[in-house]
């Protein structure tokens, strides 16, 4: 079974530029999550989708971050304009209530450096 796919794996941009990350969850997983992980810290949830609807975006900095999952499958996370403190790993994850324990599976992450 294919895992959660993310791209690009690495990205370096200048502050005030924009960047977009793409995620394709495990097939059939209705729930998709975007997490931000700053170096030395645990991952922090940015946004959670159930199919194409937003369940939780309380920690998403909406003045600069946006995310969509238009067809309920893959998702895009955008940052515009980027700030230095946005340098982090952006992790996508997915889960399905049909699986034992509703286990959440993560992708490898997209590493962002803002200079």
Partner 1 sequence: DAKTTQPTSMDCAEGRAANLPCNHSTISGNEYVYWYRQIHSQGPQYIIHGLKNNETNEMASLIITEDRKSSTLILPHATLRDTAVYYCIVRVANQGAQKLVFGQGTRLTINP
Does position 7 bind partner 1 by CB under 8 A?
A: no
Q: Is 8 in the site for partner 1 (CB under 8 A)?
A: no
Q: Which residues of 10-34 are buried (b: 16+ CB within 10 A; e: fewer)?
A: ebebeeeeebebebbbbeebbbbbb
The CB-of-63 to partner 1 minimum distance in angstroms stands at 22
Q: What is d(CA 100, CA 67) in angstroms, rounded to the nearest whole number? A: 28
By CB under 8 A, is residue 50 in contact with partner 1?
yes
Q: What is the DSSP letter of 3?
A: -
Does residue 105 bind partner 1 (CB under 8 A)? yes
Q: Which of 7, 1, 13 minimizes the C-alpha distance to 92?
A: 7
- Near partner 1 in 65-104, by CB under 8 A: 91, 93, 95, 97, 101-104
Q: Give the binding site for partner 1 (CB under 8 A).
A: 4, 30-31, 33, 41-45, 48, 50, 55-56, 91, 93, 95, 97, 101-109
């Amino acid at each position: 079974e294919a895992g959660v796919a993310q791209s690009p794996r690495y990205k370096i941009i200048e502050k005030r530029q924009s960047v977009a990350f793409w995620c394709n969850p495990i097939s059939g997983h209705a729930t998709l999550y975007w997490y931000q992980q700053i170096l030395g810290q645990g991952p922090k949830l940015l946004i959670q989708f159930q199919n194409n609807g937003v369940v939780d975006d309380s920690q998403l900095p909406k003045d600069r971050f946006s995310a969509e999952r238009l067809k309920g499958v893959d998702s895009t996370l955008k940052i515009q304009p980027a700030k230095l403190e946005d340098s982090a790993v952006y992790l996508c994850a997915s889960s399905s209530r049909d699986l034992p324990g509703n286990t959440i599976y993560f992708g490898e992450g997209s590493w962002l450096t803002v200079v």
